[in-house]
Chains A and B, each alone.
Chain A
C-alpha cells in the first residue's frame, strides 16, 4: 500500500516540478540555413553567450531549405515551451509572404518575437572589371545597359534575391538574373567575371573587397561601416532610397509564457552588451545599432513594417522584371 502511494506522489509532483525553473534542459535554436553562413555564424556567437546567462546550452540546429521557410515552418509548429527557438531574418520573417504564396506560417501571427540579434548591411558589388568609378556611374551604366548585364543571386527568397529586386526596381534596371545555389558559387562567378554584379550581405564580401577581387560601390547604411571604411554609403553615392539591412532576430513559437520570453530577452540583451560578443559581431561587419528592435515589442513592429515593405517592393519589382523562363 505505502509504496504505491509514494509512487503516486512522485508522479503527481513531476509536472509541478516542470514549471519550476526555465530552462531545465538545452534549448534548440533553429537556424533555417546551412551551417557556415552569416545567420548561422551570428546565431552561434550570440547563442554561446546566452548559454552562459541561461545556464543551459543553446544548441544550434540547422534546418535548411526553401529559402529558410522549411526551418521557419518547423519552428512555428513546435511546442511553445521555450525550448525551440529560431534565428529568423529579413527573408524568413519579412519578405517570405511576398515571395512564397502558400507560406505555411505568418511571420507576425505564428511567432513570438524575442529580439533582434544583429543586422548585416547590404552592399552593391560588381566584378573587378566593371566600367564604373563610383555608385553614380554604376547606376547610370546599369540603367543604360541593363538588358546586357547579368546579376547573380543565391536563389529565390534569398537575401541577395530580394535586396537586388529592390535595387533593380529603384533604378529601373532589367538585368538577367542568374541563379546560384548559395552565395559561395555566386561569389565565385563574380570573382571570375562570369557575372556582372550582385547585392549581398557584408559578411560574405569583406575579404574579397579587401583583397581587391571585386569592387564595392555602396553600402546601404546611413553611415559607413567600420569594417569597410573606404566604401561610401548609398546616400553619398546618390541613391539614398536604397537602405536595406538583412536583420537577424530570435523568435519563439506563439504562445510561449511571458516569463520565458522575459528570460530569453534578458539573455539576448546581456549577450549583445558583452564586450567580446560585440567585438566578434562587429568584426564581421554586423550592425548592432538598432537598439529598439532588440526588444520583443520593437521586433514585432519591425516584422510588421518589413512584411508590408517587401510586399510592396516585390510586387512592383515583378511587374517590371523580365518574366521568369
Chain B
C-alpha cells in the first residue's frame, strides 16, 4: 500500500508541473473536439499531431496524446445525444436513449450524466491501473483466441436486448452487420471477399462510413421527410443537469458500467468496444421497467458512457505493463513512445517509473479537466439546438462529409456513405434499426478472426470452445442472455409494441 502511495506521489509530482498540466489540458480539449466531430477519431488526430510532439519531452508528449484519446470518449456522446450521430464507435449505444432524452427536452440531463458518469469511471479506472495493473495483465494473458470468440458470440446476444422493436428484425440487422464485416481481403488467404475489385473496399468497409451513413445522413433524410411541423429537439431546453432523482437512478448503472468497461478494456484485441453494449444490455435486463429503455431511460446513457470511458482508460494497461497495444490507438502510442526514445515493454514500469506514474496521475487530472470543460459546455450545446433545422442539417451534412474524408482521404468513402445512407433510410422505413447492425459489424471481424484462429490452433477440434473453462463459461453466459431476452417476447407476442423511430 505504501509503495502505491509513494508511486502515486511520484506520479503527481511529475504531472503537476505547469508544462504538463498545460499539455494535459490541450490534449483533453482537442480530444473533446474530435470526439464531438463525427468521423474524425483519435487515430487520425494523434497521427497528425505526432510531429507536433517531437519537440516535447516524452512524458509531456504521452500526457497530451493520452488526453486526446480519453477526451474523445467524453466528446463522442455529445453528438450522439444531440443529433443522433455517434462521434465514436463507443457512442453508438448512447444514441439509443440519449437522443430520445434530447427529444423530450432532457438533453441537459443526458449530457450531464454522461460527463459525470465518465468522470466517475475515469477516477475508478485510474485507481485500478495504479493498483491492479500487473495482476490484471496476467488475467488478460489467459484470454486466447477461443476465449475471444466465445466473448464475441456472447456479445452478439446483447444485440437482441438492444432491440427496441421487432426482435426478428434486430437479429436480421445483426446478421447483416456481420455479413458486411466480412467484406474485404481475407486475412488468412488474401482472397478478396465481395469487394468487386474496388481497392477502397479491400480493407473492408470503414466504420465511419457505416456510422455516418446510417446515423448521420439517414437521420437527416428521416427528419426532412417527417411533417415539418414536428421540429426535432425543439421546445423546452429543460434543466442543464440531471436532477437529484435522476442521479440516484443512474448511480447503480454508473458503477456497473465502470466495472464492465474496465474489465473489457484490459483485454487485448479491442475488447473495450463491447463495454457500452454489455452495459446497456445489463441495465435493460435488471431494470424494473425495461420498457423505458429505447424511450429515454437515463440508465441507458449513464451505464454505457461510464463503460466506454473506463474501457478507454484501462486499455492503457496492456500498453504500459506489457508493451503490447490492445488496439489501433495504443499502437500509435507505441510509435509515439518509440520515437521519443522509450521502447514500451514490461520493463518500462521500473526503468521509467516517473514516466509510468506520471502518465497515470495525469489521467486522473485529465478526467477532472474534462469534467470542467464539458459541464459548462452543456449550456452552449443545448443552445445550439435552437438553430433552425433548415440551417442545421446542411451543416451536419458538411461536417460529416469532411469527417469521413479525413479518415482515409478517399472521396470514394464519401460516395459510398451516400449509398449506405439511402439504404439506411429505406431500412428505417421498413422497421429495421441501425444499432444492432453496427454491433454486428464491430463484432464480426473480431469474432470470425478469433474463431478461425482458435480452430487453426486446435486443428479443427470444435470442442475446444467447451474444453477451455473461460470460453465455455462465456458461451454459457451468452446463451443465458439470449434466452432471457427472447423469453418475454415469446410470452407476450400479442402485446409486442412497435416503437416508431
Contacts and interface: CB of A to CB of B under 8 A. Distances in A.
**Are chains A and B touching directly in their complex (CB below 8 angstroms)?**
yes
Interface of A: 34-37, 40-41, 44-45, 48, 57, 59-66, 70, 73, 99-100, 150, 155-157, 176, 178-182, 184-185, 187-189, 191-192, 194-195, 203, 206-208, 210-211, 213, 280, 283-284, 324-325
A59 B348 CA distance: 29
A156 B189 CA distance: 7
A70 B199 contact: yes
B331 A184 contact: yes
Contacts, number: 133
B347 A210 contact: yes
Interface stretch (B97-105, B374-382, B452-460): B452-460
Contact of B345 (A40, A181, A206): A206
Nearest to B141: A192
A156 B190 contact: yes
Given A44-B339, A66-B203, A325-B188, A185 B269 contact: yes
Contacts of A61: 409
Contacts of A99: 190
A76 B347 CA distance: 41
What are the 3 closest A-B residue pairs judged by CB atoms, nearest first?
A207-B345, A36-B335, A211-B346
Contacts of A184: 268, 324-326, 330-331, 334
A42 B50 CA distance: 14
B54 A48 contact: yes
Contacts of B347: 207, 210-211
Contacts of A284: 338, 343
Given A65-B203, A191-B322, A208 B331 contact: no
B344 A180 contact: no
B187 A181 contact: yes
Contacts of B332: 34-36
Interface residues of B, number: 51
Contacts of B155: none
Contact of B47 (A62, A188, A192, A210): A62
Contacts of A45: 339
Interface string B408-423: 1100000000000000
Given A150-B457, A206-B343, 14 more contacts: A35-B50, A36-B334, A59-B51, A62-B47, A64-B203, A155-B187, A156-B187, A156-B189, A181-B449, A184-B268, A206-B345, A207-B345, A283-B341, A283-B343
Contacts of B408: 63
A34 B333 CA distance: 12
B202 interface: yes
12 contacts: A44-B335, A57-B51, A64-B203, A184-B326, A192-B141, A192-B144, A207-B344, A207-B345, A208-B323, A210-B345, A210-B347, A324-B188
Interface string B228-249: 0000000000000000000000
Contact of B335 (A37, A176, A207, A208): A37
Contacts of A37: 331, 335
Interface in B232-272: 268-269
A215 B51 CA distance: 34
B353 interface: no
Contacts of B409: 61
B336 interface: yes
Given A37-B335, A189-B145, A178 B203 contact: no
A123 B328 CA distance: 24
B453 A180 contact: yes
A191 B336 contact: no
Nearest to A192: B141
A70 B203 contact: yes
A150 B348 CA distance: 29
Interface in B27-44: 43
B55 to A, nearest CB: 10
